[in-house]
A and B are shown apart, each in its own frame.
Chain A
Amino acid sequence: MTQRPPETSSSAGVSRRRFLQGSGTALAAGVTTSEASSSAGPAAAPRLSGEVEVTFQLNGEARTALVEPRTTLLSLLRHHLSPPLTGTKEVCDRGNCGACTVQIDGAPAYSCLTLAVDLAGRSVRTIEGVGSPESLHPVQRAFCEQDAAMCGFCTPGFVVATVAALEQEPQASLERVKERLSGNLCRCGTYPHIFAAVQEVTGQRTDEVFREEGR
């Protein structure tokens, strides 16, 4: 086993840095991409371009929206619907954090990594479709009771991910719950209370989760 020498001398660094010799768009440092010769050729397949109509079920109602092929479901919800549905949050826009979690045909999905045009004929449920202030879903009620929201920005994503998890596995163990919520991030540190809320819903309150009794 040979250890490659680390190169940290700044003179080497500087010369390597100089080769960036940036110009171009704001971000790219002059990347040359290979010029390719072929063409995609004539295509008979149907194509979507410009603005296209997509019809899908949103929170139980048929909706038709006009979107570009590149429009994500997240952007459609938050910016292109009237009125917009802003309960679904944009945090990373790269499928790392779970704040934009929705259910598509019941399964949890990142709306930032879903193209709106792919929704044709499918069914989407957002936090607004899970419950309302007047009619809370049991998961939402448990989140309230267990103080499972602090700043609240990750909360809609966690609620939807929890609903999706418990619809698939109503009796999920705490370990399973952690696994099913592992695609969501919270910065305030509400996790222990989220687990308590889930266990309240599943009726499995155990010592695993701290809960202060009698107050």
Chain B
Amino acid sequence: MEPEIRWKDRDDLTVLDRSLPRVDAVAKVTGTARYSHDMRLPGMVYARLVLLPWSRARIQVIDLAPAQALPGVVHAALVEEDKELVRYLGDDAVVAVVAAESPEQARDAARAVRIDWTPEDNPLITREQVSEEDASSLARRGNVWQSGERGDEDSTQRALQGALVMVEAEYSAPVQHHACLETHGCVVDFRGGDEATVYASTQAVSNNPRSFARALGLDSAQVRVVCEYMGGGFGSKFGIGLEGRVACEVAKALGRPVHLMVDRPQEFLMTGNRSGTRQVMRAGADRDGRIVALHVEADKFGGVSGGSLPTPPYIYRVEEAYARIHTVHAALDGNRAMRAPGHPQASFAMESMVDELATELGMDAVEVRIQNLASETHHRQLRAVARAIGWDQHPFRTSPADRPLESHERPPGCPAAPPGWMEGIGFAVSQWGAGGRRGAQCEVRIESDGSVTSSCGVQDLGTGARSYVAAIVAEELGLERDQVTARIGDSALPPGVASGGSVTTGSVAPAVQHAALLAREAMEERAVAVLGGETGGFSFERGRITRKDDASRSITWREACALLGEEPVSVVGSFQRELHQGGVHGAQAARVAVDPMTGRVKVLDMACVQDQGIPLNRATVRSQINGGMVQGLSYALFEQRVVDPDFGAVLTANFEDYKIAGAKDIPRMQPIIDEGDQRSAVMGMAEATGVPGAGAIANAVHNACGARVRALPITPDRVLEALGRKG
């Protein structure tokens, strides 16, 4: 008999919907958590990629001999025989690989490889360069091509003409890097024969064996992929990449374990990015603030990949909309998925545009949003986040501030701007599909000594997946969370899903819950033998199994498990549609301070209200919300890849010049779990939280001082320029 597929009522939860330390917290804070970088195997060699850091380089000679002559060097090979041209500065610029006994020796060897090359005339970086008549083609469809179109242009034009107010503006966002702290790569343990284990820094443990097997010349079943811990992926670590394929080649050649992690510059140059955009918008609104028309022409800058941008209008309801999107290729690393691919770019432009219309109309920034958002959830969340940030006390709700704030004009405890700085508040919303997909499975095993193991091959990117693989089972079986051991990050376990699109929770948690329900039922069958009653008639609470109809008939968990004898419970659950849902919403607000003398922007306070169905662990949900806000802040104020377009070289391939937010840049943060969401289902929410930050901050900057900065990042030069424009 199949148990009823359901989550417990919210009020009955004792493990889920609580703040609990994650199960691997101790391993992480003590440095005992082992990442791919940390694997050390007997006989292991260190491999290193040789990357020629220029776009469009014509190769004459690659001489490996100087590398081979160095002490400790055991391998040096071309990545591609007879390679004549580096087509683009990305993985195509990797020309050779070396391997040696120590990392220092591998570094020496990589450096010793001699490459004679000449630059092609056109580095193919800018739109102008790739559009030149004789420019080489980087993609089948040409270097600039229309990749999206939606809506009726004529009726949109007409609607624009009929609008009460019209705003025309160009918004742009730079290429952003994932900047994972653990670089891409893996340790391939293949010593010949027909078995291999790969320790990979990956977001897709269960999907990777096939690719590694192909690279090793084995069958998928012969390759085990392990990723107990991984140092950040954010969308860039789905495939095994060139680095994975090359590591396999080296292992095949040497018959020894190979450690190949790309170095930091390579991480910036060849492991993907968030594509840049330029969006030219014309929008019109009526006197109630309804957006009646939106015309968008957009470019996506995804290097040799297509770039990503959801077709506008983004989230907001627009009566007549037309959008035409072009992909503009460049001889640079292709974009990859990155935490809500395309959405932060879309959000920054759309939220700025909504704000510009509100300013034209003299409307309240919250009210104009509510007017144009279909979802009641967004309305509730906007009001909540407005309260949290102090919008009601804020005297400048319909036009930019014209004086510094007084202390009573912000909520108690709210950080204040330095004397003389201007202060403003901005808003933005998000939504995300999330949901789940079939394929995930989970095994729950209960031994006669009372121990419980919950196993799923899924990886934990830092989201807390390992913790809920244990917690869900503990919840259903009435145990403490730490009585259940979670095993994850291993393709030998029942399959997880790739962690993308915030679907991990929606896919894996239902499978875990299903396994927990099956395990519970199996235990009930055993309990019937000693307690009587029937399956489905027991409660599992505080380590006891008790008959619902007779509380005096009860045994402890240990006693029940002892009944198992030599026959442990082993059940496998699978994805159950009714346990998950899609569709999460969020709203964010930012309070910023702007120094009108220097153009410096400092974020003072951020608030995010986010729904996610059942919060599996309130602490990790808050961490995710904070993470989204921090990344949004960093994208808004600091991050940009800088390329020298004349030479075809990336100037920001390190953590000094590619700036991400640090401790002193972090404001007060209010991660608020939306208690208004009482859906009895699980869903992921991380991507949604990374979407609205830049728009909210840009709007807050305008609200503070009237400077409308339409290009990210909002650096002092742009603020000063916008202030100058304002006059």
Contacts and interface: CB of A to CB of B under 8 A. Distances in A.
A–B touch (CB < 8 A): the answer is: yes
**Interface of A (DSSP majority class):** loop
Contacts, number: 262
Given A13-B646, A25-B115, A89-B37, A210 B668 contact: yes
A22 B58 CA distance: 10
B528 interface: no
Given A147-B19, A153-B232, A210-B668, A14 B122 contact: yes
Interface string B629-653: 1110000000000000111100000
A199 interface: no
Nearest to A94: B654
B38 to A, nearest CB: 4
A104 interface: no
Contacts of B112: 25
Q: Which of B18, B230, B630 has the most CB of A within 10 A?
A: B630
A153 B35 contact: yes
B666 interface: yes
Q: Give the interface size class of chain A.
A: 35 or more
B664 interface: yes
Contact of B463 (A25, A150, A154): A150
A17 B119 contact: yes
A186 B630 CA distance: 10
Contacts of A184: 662-663
A91 B114 contact: no
Given A70-B104, A181-B663, A144 B29 contact: yes
Contacts of B26: 133, 136, 140, 144
Contact of A192 (B54, B180, B263, B666): B666
Nearest to B179: A187
Nearest to A83: B40
A10 interface: yes
Given A26-B113, A190-B626, A150 B462 contact: yes
A186 B655 CA distance: 11
Contacts of A47: none
B549 interface: no
B31 A126 contact: yes
A46 interface: no
Given A17-B648, A23-B117, A188-B232, A151 B622 contact: no
Given A23-B117, A147-B19, A136 B30 contact: yes
* Interface core residue of A86, A145, A156, A192 (most chain B CB under 10 Å): A192
B500 to A, nearest CB: 16
Interface size class of B (residues with CB under 8 A): 35 or more
A133 B27 contact: yes
Contact of A188 (B115, B129, B462): B462
Interface string A134-160: 001000100111111111111110010
Interface in B301-344: none
A4 interface: no
B21 interface: yes
A147 B231 contact: no
A17 B647 contact: yes
Nearest to B178: A187
Contact of A94 (B110, B230, B655): B655
19 contacts: A13-B129, A16-B647, A17-B647, A21-B118, A89-B37, A92-B654, A93-B264, A133-B26, A145-B21, A147-B622, A149-B25, A159-B31, A187-B178, A187-B234, A187-B631, A191-B661, A191-B663, A192-B669, A208-B415
Interface of B: 17-19, 21-22, 24-35, 37-38, 40, 50-54, 57, 60, 95-96, 102-104, 110-119, 121-123, 126, 128-129, 132, 178-182, 229-232, 234, 263-264, 413, 415, 461-463, 618-620, 622-623, 626-631, 645-648, 654-656, 660-664, 666, 668-671, 673
Given A25-B113, A152-B229, A215-B19, 6 more contacts: A12-B646, A17-B123, A21-B118, A140-B30, A191-B663, A192-B666
